[in-house]
Amino acid sequence: MLRHVMDSQQKLDKYLEQLYTGRKISYPSDDPVIAMKGIAYRTEVSEVEQYKRNSSEVKTWMDNTDAALDKATQAMHRLYELSIQASNSTYDQDELNSIKEEAIQLKDHLFDIANTNVSGKYIFNGMNTTKAPITIDDEGNIVTENINNEPVEIEVFKGTRVQANVSAKELFHSDDGDGFFENIQKFIDTLENEDVTSDDFDESIQLLNKNTSKILDARASLGARMNRMELIDNRLDEQEVIAKQTMAENENVHFEEAITQLITQETLHRAALAAGSRMMQPTLIDFLR
């Protein structure tokens, strides 16, 4: 009788524990199958959460890159406007010098954009994020030979890696002397030439347009990847909801069912105690009363 009463008490304690904790089991030994499934589901949830953190890192990188390229596009548009103005044959040298000063400032501005640093990382220097991609030598010339061209790829889904950066080598560097900053410098040199002709400015206009096209192509490629990241984020959100729901169904107790089982077990336990008290043999104490 005592053994059955103790078993009944353990069942009662089990249902009380479930109501207090909201979990079906407290120890793996309570139900090894639920425990093993729980480990798998928790691992899946942790993976999804890590992928979401990776996705946030990629989006931050892309947003900053797009903002920098937007500023570069605006600067190039202004240089194009200046080149159109300079091609006007009615401008004298003083006016061309004023345009030259603004062009120099825009060139320096684009230099700063190429060396954009976000949270201690140079976003245009590939995997070598601790060093600036564009430097200036002792003679004041812009050096682009040290640009790191390794793509920064981050895993944002199981088996899916997305490039977070834009290659500065494709934007700013050229082996044939017809690079991004060389084209701007040629325009500045043209402005300094007192014997300049309209044909010289036509060449500068073409070179500046080439620079703008490079930026627009880079932004188009980046925009396509940003759109893909939106789709991946949606998949991650859906997978996170499903994974957490599956984990909850495996581990969390159904309160209505647990309360019903507790009330039923409590009734059985009281009945067992009542029956046991009647079955107990009289003792000397009963006669002394």
SS3 88: coil
- Write down the mean pLDDT value for the chain: 86
Whether residue 26 has pLDDT greater than 90 = no
Examine residue 275 and state whether it is found in any structural domain, yes or no. Answer: no
Examine residue 142 and state whether it is found in any structural domain, yes or no. Answer: yes
> Which residue type, as a one-letter code, is found at position 254?
H
Six token digits for residue 153:
């790829």
For 36, other C-beta atoms within 10 Å of its C-beta total 12
Whether residue 153 has pLDDT greater than 60 = yes
Which residue, chain included where needed, has tokens 């690079």? Answer: 179
Return d(Cα 273, Cα 64) in angstroms, integer: 72
Rounded mean pLDDT of 273-287? 68
**Quick one: what percent of the chain has pLDDT higher than 70?**
92
Return d(Cα 251, Cα 25) in angstroms, integer: 7
For residue 93, give the H/E element and its range: helix 93-114
Return d(Cα 223, Cα 35) in angstroms, integer: 44
What long-range pairs does 6-10 form, CB within 8 A, spacing at least 24? 8/265, 8/268, 8/269, 8/272, 9/269
Structural domains in the chain (count): 1
Examine residue 25 and state whether it is found in any structural domain, yes or no. Answer: no
pLDDT of 80 reads 94
Whether residue 268 has pLDDT greater than 90 = no
Q: What is the per-residue DSSP string for 126-156?
A: TT-TTS-S-EE-TTS-EE-TT------EEEE
Calculate Rg over the CA atoms of the chain: 37
Span of 170-184, 193-207, 267-281 with lowest mean pLDDT = 267-281
Q: Is the dihedral of CA 71, 74, 78, 84 positive or negative?
A: positive
Examine residue 160 and state whether it is found in any structural domain, yes or no. Answer: yes
Per-residue CA distances from 133 to 84, 90, 122, 191 (Å)? 31, 40, 8, 28
Q: Which of the residue ranges 169-173, 178-182, 207-211 has the most confident prediction, judged by mean pLDDT? A: 207-211
Q: What is the pLDDT of residues 35-49, one digit of tens each?
A: 888 888 888 899 999
Rounded mean pLDDT of 67-84? 95
pLDDT of 249 reads 81
**Enclosing domain of residue 165:** 50-247
pLDDT of 187 reads 92
Return d(Cα 21, Cα 17) in angstroms, integer: 6
Q: How confident is the model at residue 275 (pLDDT cuts 50, 70, 90)?
A: confident
Span of 77-86, 114-123, 137-146, 277-286 with lowest mean pLDDT = 277-286
Examine residue 286 and state whether it is found in any structural domain, yes or no. Answer: no
Examine residue 26 and state whether it is found in any structural domain, yes or no. Answer: no
Examine residue 89 and state whether it is found in any structural domain, yes or no. Answer: yes
Examine residue 289 and state whether it is found in any structural domain, yes or no. Answer: no
pLDDT of 53 reads 95
More confident residue, 266 or 116: 116
Q: What is the pLDDT of residues 219-242, one digit of tens each?
A: 999 999 999 999 999 999 999 999
Domain of 220, CATH number, reads 1.20.1330.10
Kindly provide the b/e burial profile for residues 212-241, where b requires at least 16 CB atoms within 10 angstroms of the residue's own CB.
bebbeebbeebeebbeebeebbeebeebbe
